[in-house]
Amino acid sequence: MENGKGYVNGFFRWVWRINGLLLLALVLYGTANIIGRLVSFRHYAQVPNGEATLGRLGQPNQHQAALKLGSFEAFPGTSVLYARLGSDGAPIGGLSSSYTPTDVHNLLFFDTASRQAHWLFDENAQTITAMSVISESTPAQAQGAKPDCQALGLLFLSRPAQADSRDNTSWDIGLASIDGHQLKTLATGIDTLLGHRLTDNHALLVFYAKQGAAHVLDVDLATREVRSDKVLAAKN
């Protein structure tokens, strides 16, 4: 009888040991998983050149105030959102914490489909203004519904980092793809942007003034290549 009892006690002792080992293995696995996630997050937060890094938000140049990321906005008809990085803005909308910077230095793009974020510029020294979403309307899917709107690109002015802020003729015209990965400078050193027009064949006409003369750019929106740059009128 004593032998049977000892056998049972020994059996349960081994069971407890096995359970203890399994519990230890589970704890070690969970700890390793947490450490791996922390290392991965730290690496993500340190990746330069286009990856979304929260650390960049607090790294303005010596002439800038502290920068703050504004509220995300949607590009119509796409899975992409964008937010302005800048200063001198103010919260808007009642109890909402929405924020729109008035002095913009960079744009953060976020694709809700891929969950990937991307900065438009690699650094925050430039100034961005006169942003305009290039879009077209497509026929409504249902009778009586409003036409659908599809964003195709982002047109804006930017002042290079080294430009004198007192010089009003230091603006460049930029055209970015809707996901922010492709960026093209269409013209440099302009006075002001006069408007744009998207034609039926997806040619983008961009009007601007430079050194007292009005110009029009003919741009292939698909490739962002400038096909022509013509002077429309000049001061006598």
DSSP 26: H
For residue 49, what are the contacts with CB-CB under 8 A and spacing of at least 6? 122
Write the CA distances from 70 to 57, 88, 103, 128, 235, integer angstroms: 11, 11, 11, 14, 40
Alpha-carbon span 230 to 209, nearest angstrom: 11
Average pLDDT in the chain: 77
Question: What mean pLDDT do residues 29-42 have?
Answer: 56
At 50 the pLDDT is 43
Amino acid identity at 78: T
Task: Of 102, 161, 147, give the one whose Cα is nearest residue 129.
Answer: 102
Closest C-alpha to 176, from 151, 200, 149: 151
Quick one: tokens of 127? Answer: 């100034």
pLDDT digits (tens, 9 = 90+) for 44-68: 333 334 444 444 554 445 455 678 8
Over residues 88-101, mean pLDDT: 54
Across the range 114-142, mean pLDDT stands at 87
Residue 170: what residue type? S
Residues 12, 3: Cα–Cα separation, whole Å: 14
Q: Which single residue is written with the structure tokens 């013209």?
A: 187
Residue found by looking up tokens 């802020």 in the block: 165
Q: Measured between alpha carbons, how far is 45 from 119 in angstroms, rounded to an integer?
A: 13
Q: Average pLDDT of 179-202?
A: 93
